[in-house]
Copies of this chain bind each other. A is one copy, B any other.
Amino acid sequence: MTDLELMAAALAEAEKAAALGEVPVGAVIAKDGQIIAAAHNTRETEKNALHHAELLAIDRACKALGGWRLWQCELFVTLEPCPMCAGAIINSRLKRVVYGARDTKAGCCGSVTDLFALPFNHRPQIEQGLCAQQAQALLEQFFASLREKRRGMPRWKPPVSGQYLNKKGE
């Protein structure tokens, strides 16, 4: 499969996430041009902070290959990896990472920081921008729809200290 076909598969995964009401991010891992793992963000559905598309794909690739060194593999992901996923890319020795849209709030391939420029024990080849417009459009559509749904609803936030005081202030 070509890079474009692999990113199209990652975008199809992102659409699965959107259908679940999840932030639409999808990823595939390929070896010799063939997909060996595919995943999409399921943080809300599975109630798990680790269930980003990249982490799930790396987990599946390790299981598929029976080893933790993915040095022959390439990751295609629709959004710039966060610190956790960039760290997992380093830890799994992925050879090459191709991502679509930039993430100005959490991206670790140059947006907030560039983890791959630091002296860790592995540095993958990084490419940005493939199908970035489609990936960005999916995200914008999702967040516009979420804002619409949540209009007037309270946002989750941790209770402020003292919020549970009784009338006596105890």
* Chain A residues within 8 Å of B, Cβ to Cβ: 43-44, 47-52, 55, 58-59, 62-63, 66-71, 82-88, 90-93, 105-106, 108, 112-113, 115, 118-121, 156, 158
A62 near B48 with CB under 8 A, answer yes
B91 near A49 with CB under 8 A, answer yes
Minimum CB–CB distance from A84 to chain B (whole Å) comes to 3
| CB nearest neighbor in B for A156 | B69
| Additional pairs, 13, CB under 8 Å, beyond known A47-B66, A84-B91 | A44-B68, A49-B58, A50-B55, A50-B88, A50-B92, A71-B158, A83-B83, A83-B86, A83-B115, A84-B87, A84-B88, A85-B87, A112-B118
Q: Could you list 17 A-B pairs, sorted by A, with CB under 8 Å?
A: A43-B68, A47-B66, A47-B68, A48-B62, A49-B58, A49-B69, A49-B88, A51-B68, A69-B156, A82-B90, A83-B115, A86-B87, A87-B108, A112-B120, A113-B113, A113-B115, A113-B118
Task: Provide the residues of chain B in CB contact with A50, threshold 8 Å.
Answer: 55, 58-59, 62, 88, 91-92
What 6 pairs between A and B have smallest CB-CB spacing?
A84-B87, A83-B87, A49-B92, A49-B68, A48-B62, A49-B91
A106 near B83 with CB under 8 A, answer no
Q: How far is the CA of A107 from the CA of B115 in the complex (A)?
A: 12
Task: Provide the residues of chain B in CB contact with A106, threshold 8 Å.
Answer: 120-121
Minimum CB–CB distance from A161 to chain B (whole Å) comes to 13
